[in-house]
Amino acid sequence: MWGRHREAFSMYKRMPSRDHSTLVDDVEENSALLQNSMDVGTTNPSWLLSFPHVVVATISSLLFGYHLGVVNEPLESISIDLGFRGNTLAEGLVVSTCLGGAFIGSLFSGWIADSAGRRRAFQLCALPMIIGAATSATTRTLAGMLIGRFLVGTGIGIGPPVASLYLAEVSPASLRGTYGSFIQIATCLGLMGALFIGIPVREIAGWWRICFWVSTVPAGIVAFAMIFCAESPHWLYKKGRSAEAEAEFERLLGGSHVKYAMLELSKLDRGDEADTVKLSELLRGRHFRVVYIGSTLFALQQLSGINAVFYFSSSVFKSARVPSDVANALIGVANLTGSIVAMLLMDKLGRKLLLLWSFFGMTMSMVLQVAAANSYVSGSGSLYLSVGGMLMFVLTFALGAGPVPGLLLPEIFLNRIRAKAMAFCMSVHWVINFFVGLLFLRLLEQLGPQLLYSIFASVCMMAVIFVKKNVMETKGKSLQEIEIALLPPE
């Protein structure tokens, strides 16, 4: 480094006086441009420019939540109409086939996002959702229902990782946490919407078909509205389309912020785009650490027991003599309340602090569940502890463990591997989600609630330790600053 400075200084001394004067003028001009860019970089772009693009992208997360919850209420009516009532295996397949499709979709999400672009990926994820929902709504057989659910699953497997990518890449650094929380809020609204639309299913014959048809409307909106949304400037720059990236930055941030945004983007090497990212790159070498952090966060999120709590909540509330619709409403309100609070705090307190307190709160909630399962606790006291612990668990999950991993991962993955690494980590998420759902009731039967909830509490405490040791704070930092801080030199 010193050798290059010394050589430049020698050349500078040998220059004629006129050339020396020109060089000084150029240096002053470039310094002024850099200073202007830095001054602009210290101000925050208007949220009004990027907000519409973010809203359209988060509709895919609303669909994700909707399709996870759409069969909960109507499942009995579906089984009667399609002739598999009493067949628990078939009922389980109607629920879990969607998860299998999501796993397949998540595997291909990175390749689709990198090859077709973020906007086109949204449109491609909406297509199987529309076809799958229409297939489920019109089928007369179990096979048709399973095909429809699988197609929908591939769409929701593509949607969440692409939404996380897109929001991280189009959001101003000052708003990235707030916008990232929209994904969790949209998922909550989707789940609540599915439960609300499913209410008339017991009174109106064939209403479950309407439940599936309804989902085609937001999917169609995503496919159409993405035509008018900005493409990710990071993806365009990665593809060598710098002029288009600059134009999209102007749409998202405003003209005064374009030069600073491009200056930040140019700090990083695009890499050789002809050289595709291989799985081996993600699992060893300089990229291993961030992929390890990302996949472990998703694994801990699912092993914490959140889906088991959702699956088992109706039984707990039933034993407390709370009607199922009231129970679902309470769970939904707790989830939505936590998500809104997380949105308000994400860019104030930061990602790491929310994760730490979220997992710690989940640990305490599971301790309440363990206490509720203790034989020394009276019947009414046990019910209060169980219901209170469950609502507290959902609330604290929504404060950090729910929204933060999907936001943090695109922030810590460098531009070249971002889409593929997100696809890998989401695949880990879906695999563990599937096995937790598959084995929870069996483990509850074999181990008992006290031991099983103790295991969940231990996992949550392990998550606190992991976050403390491995997760860096990304609040207010540009994606380029985060990449430089995390990526070791080659």
Residues 156 and 292 in one domain: no
pLDDT at residue 321 tops 70: no
Range of lowest pLDDT (55-64, 200-209, 214-223): 200-209
| Both structure tokens of 489 | 């030199």
Integer angstrom CA distances of residue 390 from 103, 117, 214, 317, 365 = 28, 40, 30, 10, 7
Please count the structural domains in the chain: 2
The 10s digit of each residue's pLDDT in 191-205 is 889 888 988 888 888
Return the top range by mean pLDDT from 142-156, 232-246, 275-289.
Answer: 142-156
Look at the alpha carbons of 98, 170, 423, 278 in this order and tell me if their dihedral is positive or negative. Answer: positive
Q: Is 70 helix (H, G, I), strand (E, B) or coil?
A: coil
The 10s digit of each residue's pLDDT in 402-422 is 888 888 888 888 777 888 888
How many Å apart are CA 99 and CA 150, to the nearest integer? 8
* Residue 365, in any domain of the structure: yes
The 10s digit of each residue's pLDDT in 369-384 is 888 777 566 666 777 7
The 10s digit of each residue's pLDDT in 244-302 is 999 999 999 888 888 888 887 777 655 444 456 666 677 777 778 888 888 999 999 98
Say which residue, 26 or 470, is predicted with more confidence: 470
Question: In sequence order, which residues have a C-beta less than 8 Å from that of residue 81 and are 6 or more positions away?
Answer: 206, 208
pLDDT (mean) for 357-370: 91
230, 262, 288 — which closes off a domain? 230
Residues 132 and 69 in one domain: yes
* Residue 244, in any domain of the structure: no
pLDDT at residue 27 tops 60: no
Range of the domain at 126: 47-230
CA-based nearest residue to 112, from 60, 157, 150, 55: 157
For 373-382, give one letter per residue: b (16+ CB within 10 A) or e.
beeeeeeeeb
The 10s digit of each residue's pLDDT in 428-442 is 888 888 787 777 767
User: Kindly report the CA angle at 281 between 276 and 287, in degrees rounded to 5?
Assistant: 120
The pLDDT value given to residue 10:
38
Residue with the two structure tokens 């067949």: 87
191, 209, 230 — which closes off a domain? 230
Which CATH number belongs to the domain containing residue 447 in this structure? 1.20.1250.20
The chain-wide mean pLDDT, for the chain, equals 81
CA-based nearest residue to 373, from 381, 95, 195: 381
Integer angstrom CA distances of residue 180 from 171, 306, 346 = 9, 20, 9
Integer angstrom CA distances of residue 40 from 70, 221, 234, 260 = 46, 35, 20, 7
Cα diameter, the chain: 94
Q: Is 32 helix (H, G, I), strand (E, B) or coil?
A: helix
